[in-house]
Amino acid sequence: MSNYPHPILAREGWPFIAIALALALVVTGAAGLGWALPFWLLFVFVVQFFRDPPRHIPQAPKAVLAPADGRIVAIEPTRDPYLNRDCMKISVFMNVFNVHSNRSPVDGEVVQRWYNAGSFLNAALDKASVENERNALHLRTQDGQDVTCVQVAGLVARRILCYVEAGAKLARGQRYGFIRFGSRVDVYLPPGTRARVTIGDKVSASSTVLAELP
């Protein structure tokens, strides 16, 4: 199953793609391909950054899916700073070559949304979870499990986009936001959750099962 109501090139990137293409064409026309090569490379980079391909979505009822593409940088017991509870945290770090579309890890309703302004530290660092600019969603599944999903800005990222508010209902794999140019997503899961990934694993949004809820 897939959930993909959006174009393969994310709409958030259309202005950047258009500007990069226009620059490449103008420099090519004015100075030739040799001088324009860096601008064509920039255009290719911008296109790959804003790609947003469809993905297979596993349907196991207790599965928690990856909310983003990237690499697992944390799997640890900790305290959920939003729901004030003991939990398991799994963190996905996105570099500039990963897809930056963010998708819901579970089927559930948005109970609450929080936005916190902050710093722009390297998103691979643990302290980025509590010091960087971030946007958090409290999701509640139909069987009452609480999942907190947090978009965290990175060293280069300067814009977190989130398109849902409290009361919205999300299907697993449904696209709900985007982070521009390098970032991280933290998922806080209830005690008893079993991780299905390990540190260093590469994951794909919606396709990779991060964990299994109790």
pLDDT at residue 123, as a whole number: 47
Does residue 46 register a pLDDT over 80?
yes
Longest dimension (CA), the chain: 63
- pTM here is 0.84
159: Cα separation from own chain's centroid? 12
Residue that wins the pLDDT comparison between 74 and 3: 74
Q: Which strand ranges, in their side-by-side order, compose the sheet holding 183-189?
A: 169-170, 108-116, 134-140, 146-153, 183-189, 85-94, 70-80, 202-203
- Burial class from Cβ neighbours inside 10 Å (0-12, 13-18, 19+) for residue 178 reads buried
Does residue 106 register a pLDDT over 70?
yes
179: Cα separation from own chain's centroid? 7
pLDDT class of 144 with cuts at 50, 70, 90: very high
DSSP, collapsed to helix, strand or coil, labels residue 153 as strand
- For the domain spanning 63-212, the CATH number is 2.70.70.10
What are the structural domain ranges in the chain? 11-49, 63-212
Q: Which residues are catalytic?
A: 183
Q: Choose the weakest-confidence range: 18-22, 107-111, 118-122, 174-178.
A: 118-122
